[in-house]
Structure 1
């Protein structure tokens, strides 16, 4: 009799334990999916990694950063008391479909971010590998929630993809390239060592996001081209030659050399080895400022939505800044210092940095840095000290800054130290970028 009771008790205990295990297992499988902000940062990093691999031009790279961020932001801003939609504030963007109640907005936002990103790049294996790792983890945590969120995220992504394909990018792929002529001595000519054609001569035809037009913040005109020794233009040319020669005389360990290299951000650097031309892959100016945005977000410990907001506003500013700058570049068509110095002063002279393949005025890095610093100062405040370690993967040490504007000014003057821009392109470029940044801030009042 005792043995029978013992067996019954054992079976009953086993049954209870089995039920408890089942309940715990069900709870674990149906737990809400947690999406840390680092998952978003890593997605941005994967896009950067892909763009470096595929060697996208600076203007095109700005487009690749911007559209995925808009998709993610629009999802996170839904029914949010602090953030409002972009749909009435940037051109032609319609409201996205409302999210069903069973959707995890963070999951949907990352799904949309990744899917839109893949639409804009050539080889998506880096992004796809990361996405697969996320999706597998999320599905294991809560398959029902993941499926609903993914379905919604893809629905929003399709809406954003329809919108982005109407920005005139595809049409400009078939437009005529830059025409090289020699009838104007001040007109831009391709530069060594690769003598590449002018990059994106029709970028001013791309749809802006917030600017009324590409020419809205047309900068003050550069000094009139003249090779007269007393002319303002010739003095700027002579400054480039004098400054770079002095830097070279002082050696490679000077602060000016460190600044020039840190802010180089030229994805088109090429080196001749025998009969081969080998590209050295680097980030673009926009990528550098997206990296600074990430540093600021992490330093302030922003949550997922706030981080997406900061990255979205900054990427919109960078996108419109490139359109504004490229509009002026191919209006001015100004010759680079390297060409003039080699032809008229010193045929053996070379700049510290390799000259990028597009006209000189205004400085792209100056414009983008001015816009980015203005926006980031608005978001995080002035006198925001940070350590910029964006260039560490490229073998360059980090640099410390007391504010975003300090960093922007250093990025701008790096173009003189590098020998690739005249003074006017630098100074007027920063102002041009600041005007773009202020316009973005005044028109994208997204926080309530």
Structure 2
């Protein structure tokens, strides 16, 4: 008499287990696509880039390839979005996942991100430790072991393909070359306190992602160097000198907020030491994250923002560096010390590369155009990117306003003449507009 009851109980138990597994699968799929995992991964990479002291151009390259790898994998989970294959110079795409297999694409995406990152940084142990913690969270949320393993391996396969693409961009061929310092007046020379060699003099040879060439949006030529007090150049020199000698507290705060010098040297007596800061690209990647969080963007929308910004930064630096070493412009510190005041020192430490155009002006405006296209022209936000480095939060009414402030900060810092700021800003806007017009992430 009890057998039917026992059979019914067993059937109920089996159905319960099956249903529980199905619910668990639904839960893990939803949990796996939490954009916070991507935010945390970008933050971790930014910290390592700062720790390893990568120059701003090299940092932008790291951001671009890691984001490309992650984007190309995650897009398989979102039919409304499209691959960048055929849209980026020389890029043909990644291997496709098996059609009859189950993947956790958010996990595979982050696997690709971290694997590419590991190939482009020095402190791989830091990324290894982070990856271990991240993967433990995915296991804890209930990703089946076969799906977990398959997803991680697919991410690694995609990363291998992206690294093969990166190997063809000319970066390796630019290693080891130094800039020859010219003795001609008005040309760039190393600046105190470290008198470092010029950074990445052959960066213009690196393949751009979307631009047709490094010189596609070359800015107007800078003013002709002159010691004549009535010349345009001398007036530009005096503008920097007078501005920095009469700054308000607000202007000083703006200069410090946008400093983003990855390697600042300090001297105390006979002792010299350095402090590390986030790169300009890292700051704008942070802004992309802040904007995505504010609108509660899902993982794919967040990935789209990070990826488009990263590519705009990479192409912005290639465009900017092309003109920097063509014009080979003297820095305000050198010109003012020679022509006006030998004891004058800029508020910010002069970066080790030619003056024209302003890198901040180019890349900030390029990123701002891309973010405006995604989130609108009147996007208000609180920029807390520099909070971790001891600087207060600043409020902005738009990305454009932030880019304008970032550009002008270089005058307040005493490290750029106004034409480098104005023309650099225009160059950056053109780079950003070209990316918006030519890089399509949605079907």
TM bracket (short chain): over 0.9
In the other structure, the counterpart of 1:300 is: 295
1:333 is displaced (CA, Å) by 0.3
Residues 152 and 235 of structure 1: CA distance in aligned 2, closer, same or farther (over 3 Å): same
Aligned pair 1:164/2:159, yes or no? no
Once the two structures are overlaid, the 10-residue window that deviates more, 389-398 or 24-33, is 24-33
SS in 2 for 1:77: helix
The equivalent residue for 1:362 is 357
- Could you say what secondary structure the match of 2:246 adopts? helix
Counterpart for residue 38 of structure 2: 40
* Corresponding residue pairs, total: 436
Change over 3 Å in CA distance of 1:445–1:23 after alignment to 2: closer
Partner-residue secondary structure (3-state), 2:245 = helix
Counterpart of 2:246 in structure 1 is: 246
Work out the CA distance in 1 between the residues paired with 2:370 and 2:66: 19
Larger radius of gyration: 1
Number of the residue aligned with 1:217? 217
**Residue aligning to 1:69:** 67
Q: 1:82 offset after TM fit, Å?
A: 1.9
| Residue matched to 1:154 | 156
Task: Determine helix, strand or coil for the equivalent of 1:196.
Answer: coil
The residue aligned with 1:98 is 96
> What is the CA–CA distance in structure 2 between the aligned matches of 1:92 and 1:320, rounded to whole Å?
15
In structure 2, what is the Cα distance between the partners aligned to 1:308 and 1:29? 25
Distance 1:26 1:445, change over 3 A: closer
**Unpaired runs of at least 5, structure 1:** none
Aligned to 1:317: 312
- Asked whether the equivalents of residues 223 and 233 of structure 2 are also in contact (C-alpha less than 8 Å), the reply is yes
2: distance between equivalents of 1:108 and 1:362?
40
- Aligned mate of 2:54, from 17, 31, 56: 56
Query: TM (normalized to structure 1)?
Result: 0.92
Deviations 1:153-206 (A, max 9, x none): 1111111111111111111113x3011232x11010000000000000000000
Q: Out of 403, 406, 417, which is 1:411 matched to?
A: 406
RMSD: 2.3
- Contact map agreement 1:108 1:152 (CA 8 A) in 2: yes
CA distance in 1 between counterparts of 2:375 and 2:357 reads 27
Per the alignment, in what secondary structure is the counterpart of residue 108 of structure 2? helix
Higher mean C-alpha deviation, range 26-35 or range 191-200 = 26-35
Deviation at 1:93?
A: 1.1
The 2-side partners of 1:314 and 1:291 are apart by 10
The Cα shift of 1:104 comes to: 1.3
Contact 1:328 1:362 in 2 (8 A): yes
In the aligned structure 1, how far is the partner of 2:21 from the partner of 2:381? 45
Task: Work out the CA distance in 1 between the residues paired with 2:272 and 2:13.
Answer: 67
Is 1:382 aligned to residue 377 of structure 2? yes
- 8 Å CA contact 1:366, 1:408 repeated in 2: yes
Deviation at 1:21?
9.3
